[in-house]
Structure 1
């Protein structure tokens, strides 16, 4: 293997264990590749079994130290870490673009969103209220207290490594838990840079970061009696596997899994306003987003106009390396994703879909934004999450039919509706099987509101007061004088 060609700004991080950064002691190495040009950036040293045992020990000790810090002080410490994260945003965004491929403007936005998430939790720390229950006998008191659940193991993926890690870090740390984050091995440096901003304010062991062989890390952490709670964002098959492990050890678990978001476009929709929004949202992060609008059900009267407008806007997107000025869509994150997306498109075309796409740049992991028109419900791309720059579109005649087809899928994370009809809004918001619904817009994920899915898209919520609740135990106390 050729020696790594270091980019001037890129170095793989070490692991953060017991308050100190140290090189992973495992025998395995992971090569980090820039998806825009296929060049090796660096090699990541993975955790050994001893590293993981040291992490567990430190997590138990860190929890005892951190839980004793009063809530308002926890919030202040996290807020100082957030300020540092905002200061270092440009550097962190550059690392993210190099290792993951997204345009620099998107990487900056992700870094700032991660800061917003942790800031919200930091402020919420002082509002973890219990309650007093009317007593059943004289000279007694009954109270309900919320207390941190204990050391947390969190697993986050490579598509939005900062935001999806921040949701877990913010909730756990604000609640008073210690947390071990296993970041995605494909995007180590950006997450480590974010963790470093927070760790400076925390006792040793309260926040730790490991990279390793995923199965080894998850099995070791979940089986340990130290860990009391898991949070995972990623694919459905891995989520099922972790849920089984969690069940075996009776651990609480929050799962945010895949999505295949339906979009219902009624005949009174304003296409001139809606299509640019949808195209930008669909092809953000090259479509590697679980909440990306992907299955478009369009009222038949607008169907032809929608296809023309969507295809035209997609072709106008500027594809290129994420660090190049003017790039609107970067490469997919790795060659595995590129091969999977091209295979899904090919199988869908063979089943009768009409492909509308431009050319992708040569080299790297690029796939052109693709619209699959006239998509039957059983089309492979209608059933399987593309997790890439692929959108499917089909016409509908009655709103009930659109809702039924939108629900005819294993996923239920986000959904979108474009209409001005109060009747349609009421019907869709009551009957669409999703965890988040945006109407005439695309905002389904904000720090102060819950984010999570139904059906195969997961279980539990992150963000909002629900996201805080996920890291708290409830204790009833009955005191008789």
Structure 2
């Protein structure tokens, strides 16, 4: 069985010791000032592995959010008029500051999110890359001249920042989800109001602290912290309904995305949504099984399975099913689970009780329907759950319709290409999909037919700052990263000259 931690839950409080203690900020950030909630209320943040309290942050609401929006709006007047070169230089300074503080930032991520330290450092390399990429993009917001059908007319288009941007980010990538949205917004000349995730607020506050230190003007970046529940709903509603906000970017569940889209309808904001997925991972009979196993391990268990593009359903051709299942289970059985700050840890805890309980529910319901547990299948201490492999998944399993968002690998059998494509494409969501095959013709054919926004072909890690990230169907719209990522934060203006 996987090596699970014992006596890890301690409770109480603990200090977060950093080399640069300035990065551990326990206040919100509005108009260039580090502030408390108006009513001085706070909520605690815990080490996800040990359940000790590491600190608290302000529990802000609608009033503080409105102040942040007004601050961003005032700052926009000057920030939007700065040159791309000026914004490039500031973003480059921020990139360098983030690189210099990698060790501390990684520790913050691991403690408040739970992922192993090596994964946190990998996330920072990825997230800092967005700052670097969009720093360069700041000077490349080109316009066009368009030939007119009339002799006395000249057509020119320019691109301008959309305005104040609301950025709502999740907890599963505390750094990358911030920089993937904030970097293009700042590069375009927009100002921002960030709603930090309640589970992992300290990473976004640390990034903002460094942005302040390298010289970003007051009001350009604002951060609201709030607890789950009424305040979070109030903050989200204000960001959606306030007409000053001209752009909202959200990463989260499809259910919440639909709610936010409805709340934005009266002001007709520009939107980009990266919503839920149900990623298929297909292993065809002609695949290199060792590579497919490695891919499944990386794709399924990164972040304890709490990523929107991780494999949720693993379909394996009947001819190689038993061999693949055996190899995958043998590798998972050797996992070392525990506090991500410790050496050699491969899997950390879930982020909260609801996440842990959802994994347990999916395992329970699948077993009751006839699935076989090959490894794992039990809850551990605190927020830990054993990395689990289930075989012979029956029809109508919970994973068919729901993201597990946890360390559960569910193995389905299939016999034909048509059969498996029909099953995976029946999902109403379409974010990412993966498959392994040695047939070149099949690689093109299946990649084109998969109804998802991103496809990994004999590759399990697809996220990069230089390519577009996003889904189709109920997984949302808009793209983050890549050459077109800055477009989400800009508008085209036509200028017609009579000559």
Same fold (TM over 0.5): yes
Q: Displacement of 1:407 after TM fit?
A: 1.0
Q: Displacement of 1:138 after TM fit?
A: 4.2
Equivalence for 1:165: 178
Q: 1:424 aligns with which of 442, 446, 453?
A: 442
Within-5 A mapping of 1:105-144: 105-144=118-157
Q: Displacement of 1:359 after TM fit?
A: 7.2
Contact 2:94 2:131 in 1 (8 A): no
Q: 1:207 aligns with which of 211, 221, 227?
A: 221
User: Secondary structure of the residue that 2:259 maps to in structure 1?
Assistant: helix
2:102 pairs with 1:102: no
Q: Displacement of 1:165 after TM fit?
A: 1.1
Equivalence for 1:410: 428
Q: Displacement of 1:444 after TM fit?
A: 1.9
Equivalence for 2:3: none
Q: 1:322 aligns with which of 320, 335, 340?
A: 340
Q: 1:400 aligns with which of 392, 415, 418?
A: 418
Equivalence for 2:65: 52
User: Secondary structure of the residue that 2:245 maps to in structure 1?
Assistant: coil
TM-score, normalising length from structure 2?
Answer: 0.93
Contact 1:150 1:228 in 2 (8 A): yes
Unpaired stretches in structure 1, ≥5 consecutive residues = none
Contact 1:182 1:210 in 2 (8 A): yes
In 2: Cα distance, 1:218 partner to 1:136 partner: 46
Name whichever of 43-52 and 32-41 sits farther off: 43-52
Equivalence for 1:367: 385
User: Secondary structure of the residue that 1:317 maps to in structure 2?
Assistant: coil
2:50 pairs with 1:32: no
What is the number of equivalent residue pairs in this alignment?
480
Equivalence for 1:475: 493
Contact 1:4 1:43 in 2 (8 A): no
| Moved >6 Å (runs of 4+) | none
Within-5 A mapping of 1:84-103: 84-103=97-116
Contact 1:414 1:444 in 2 (8 A): no
Name whichever of 137-146 and 150-159 sits farther off: 137-146
Contact 1:82 1:198 in 2 (8 A): no
Contact 1:4 1:41 in 2 (8 A): yes
Equivalence for 2:15: 6
Equivalence for 1:455: 473
After superposition, the CA RMSD in angstroms is 1.7
Equivalence for 1:263: 281
In 1: Cα distance, 2:263 partner to 2:15 partner: 39
User: Secondary structure of the residue that 1:152 maps to in structure 2?
Assistant: strand
Contact 2:305 2:406 in 1 (8 A): yes
User: Secondary structure of the residue that 1:127 maps to in structure 2?
Assistant: coil
Q: 1:278 aligns with which of 296, 308, 327?
A: 296
Q: 1:466 aligns with which of 484, 493, 497?
A: 484
Name whichever of 35-44 and 150-159 sits farther off: 35-44
